[in-house]
């Protein structure tokens, strides 16, 4: 085996997935001391940045500024972006092994978790994941339709994504028209008849997964009353005991904000956003023509378990909430990738701290995972930086120990020839810069951050022009 990592024989690494985890891994690799490393990053979309582009809410432009750091890595002379190339379709594992010493999978968690209740497949029952991708202009979701002609909507979940969905539904057209929301979503939301949005959570405010900045922002909606029932905002004995045993400043702040909302009287604004706690969905009720018309809920109570954790149990009390749309936002889930071992229960690639392992726990040489597909959907964008560094540290350790693949053609030129023959419509980072410039130019004309392209043909047309 030729020793890889020298100036004469650069270490060739492929990263599958161009989201935060992939870019943080690339940055760490390109800074590795004493090693010459070349990184090729693949993504099935023609655009980089993953959920920063397609998941971060359009009214959260500051959160998207993290792409400046990614751009710095992408312009490194030993980095190459290969967009519009899908692993498992355009390129397989054996082909990657021909050109690379190590391969990182950072594909994220593209699916969502189901509620597992009757009526979940009714017309008008949707994944929040789909709705977020739709209003952010993800090409796979641009053709979806959401019937916004109803007046009441339920969003099931107490995380930041649930708050994003509710906030977008409640914002005025004027507010949304200053963001980079997809044009098709902007038009649909302008004609929305939604007047009441209900955020529904199984637990209490102290157990909510949203962050203090997100829940505080909800109170700044200009056209919406935020309503919380005082009884549901009350900090119960179990939650109080748990916080005393394990102080959590974020949880305490969340409770403070919720209790402020509970004391606010309605102002008679155009829309109402109800935040409800201690309710478990039992059934989505449909009409004779199969459309969502209500959601049946069970009242919960909290108790302190022996390990001092706060647990939920249902009571006999129920209520039925009339709604025309239901969005479930109860967590993301990864999807299995061809030729890789997958943990179906956790929804992640089987791995140990980032090294991919088979069903017997044996390490698969040269294969690694980073980000949500490694650890599950947890943390914020920056959490992936620590995660990626952990994986890269193991990769460097394996390189020093000589544990890596032996590619038959470990050169950039060989990989380039293969890619050109395989996917002549692949998108480089220079191509993305052209797309980015045109989206930004269109945004300047409309007094918006950018006007997004949302269909593959539109991206490629910019390049052909």
What mean pLDDT is predicted for residues 77-81?
96
Q: What share of the chain is helix, strand, coil (3-state, %, to 5)?
A: 35, 25, 40
Question: Is 445 inside a domain boundary?
Answer: no
Same domain, 84 and 99: yes
The answer as to whether 15 is a domain residue is yes
Q: What is the pLDDT of residue 2?
A: 59
- pLDDT at residue 349 greater than cutoff 60: yes
Q: How confident is the model at residue 66 (pLDDT cuts 50, 70, 90)?
A: very high
Please indicate, yes or no, if residue 6 is contained in any of the structural domains.
no
Q: What is the pLDDT of residue 51?
A: 94
What's the domain range around 347? 11-110+334-427
Domain assignment present for residue 441? The answer is no
Model confidence pLDDT, tens digit, residues 227-275: 999 999 999 999 999 999 999 999 999 999 999 999 999 999 999 999 9
Q: Which range is least confidently modeled, 77-81, 281-285, 456-460?
A: 456-460
Q: Is residue 462 part of a domain?
A: no
The answer to whether residue 103 sits within a structural domain is: yes
Q: Which whole number is the average pLDDT over 313-326? A: 97
What's the mean pLDDT when you consider all of the chain?
A: 95
Give this prediction's pTM: 0.94
How much is the average pLDDT of 288-312? 95
Residue 395 predicted with pLDDT over 90: yes
Total domains in the fold of the chain = 2
**pLDDT at 7 exceeding the cut of 90:** no
Residue 401: partners with Cβ closer than 8 Å, 6 or more residues away: none
CATH number of the domain bearing residue 370: 3.40.50.720
- Which pLDDT does position 226 carry in this prediction? 98
Helix (H) or strand (E) holding 443: helix 429-446
In the 8-state DSSP scheme, what is residue 264?
P
How much is the average pLDDT of 284-304? 97
Cβ atoms of 410 and 100 within 8 Å: the answer is yes
Q: Are residues 233 and 288 in the same domain?
A: yes
Has residue 57 got a pLDDT over 70? yes
Looking at the structure, tell me whether residues 55 and 82 fall in a common domain. Answer: yes
Domain endpoint, select from 302, 330, 358: 330
Q: Which of 310, 330, 350 is the last residue of a domain?
A: 330
Tell me how far apart the alpha carbons of residues 22 and 427 are, in angstroms, rounded to a whole number. Answer: 17
Residue 436: CB partners within 8 Å, gap ≥ 6? 450
Tell me how far apart the alpha carbons of residues 45 and 50 are, in angstroms, rounded to a whole number.
9
């Amino acid at each position: 085996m030729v020793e890889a990592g020298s100036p004469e024989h650069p270490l060739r690494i492929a990263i599958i997935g161009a989201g935060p985890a992939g870019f943080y891994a690339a940055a760490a690799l390109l800074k590795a001391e004493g090693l010459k490393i070349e990184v090729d990053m693949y993504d099935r979309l023609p655009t980089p940045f993953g959920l920063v582009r397609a998941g971060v809410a359009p009214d959260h432009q500051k959160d998207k500024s993290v792409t400046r750091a990614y751009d710095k890595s992408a312009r490194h002379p030993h980095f190459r972006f290969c967009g519009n190339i899908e692993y498992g379709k355009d390129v397989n594992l054996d082909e990657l092994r021909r050109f690379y010493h190590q391969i990182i999978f950072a594909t994220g968690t593209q699916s969502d978790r189901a509620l597992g209740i009757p009526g979940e497949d009714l017309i008008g029952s949707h994944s929040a994941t789909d709705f977020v991708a739709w209003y952010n202009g993800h090409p796979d979701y641009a053709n979806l339709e959401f019937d916004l002609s109803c007046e009441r909507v339920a969003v099931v979940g107490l995380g930041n994504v649930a708050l994003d969905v509710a906030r977008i539904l409640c914002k005025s057209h004027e507010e949304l028209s200053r963001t980079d929301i997809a044009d098709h979503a902007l038009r649909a939301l302008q004609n929305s008849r939604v007047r009441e949005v209900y955020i529904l959570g199984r637990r209490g405010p102290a157990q909510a997964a949203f962050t203090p900045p997100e829940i505080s922002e909800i109170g700044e909606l200009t056209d919406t009353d935020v309503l919380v029932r005082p009884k549901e905002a009350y900090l119960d004995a179990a939650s109080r005991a748990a916080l005393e045993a394990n102080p959590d400043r974020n949880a305490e702040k969340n409770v403070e904000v919720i209790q402020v909302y509970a004391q606010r009287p309605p102002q008679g604004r155009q829309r109402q956003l109800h935040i409800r706690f201690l309710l478990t969905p039992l059934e989505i009720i449909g009409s004779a023509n199969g459309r969502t018309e209500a959601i049946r809920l069970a009242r919960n109570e909290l108790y302190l378990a022996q390990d001092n954790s706060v647990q939920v149990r249902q009571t006999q009390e129920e209520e039925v909430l009339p709604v025309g749309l239901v969005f479930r936002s109860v967590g993301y889930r990864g999807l299995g990738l061809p030729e890789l071992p997958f943990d179906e229960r956790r929804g992640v690639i089987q791995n140990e701290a980032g090294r991919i392992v088979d069903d017997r726990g044996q390490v698969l040489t040269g294969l690694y995972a980073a980000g949500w597909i490694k650890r599950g959907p947890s943390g914020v964008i920056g959490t992936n930086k620590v995660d990626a560094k952990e994986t890269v540290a193991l990769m460097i350790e394996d390189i020093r120990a000589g544990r890596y693949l032996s590619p038959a053609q470990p050169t950039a030129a060989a990989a380039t020839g293969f890619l050109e023959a395989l996917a002549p419509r692949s998108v480089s980072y220079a191509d993305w810069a052209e797309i980015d410039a045109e989206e930004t130019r269109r945004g300047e004309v409309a007094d918006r951050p950018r006007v997004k392209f949302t269909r593959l043909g539109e991206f490629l047309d910019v390049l052909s022009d």
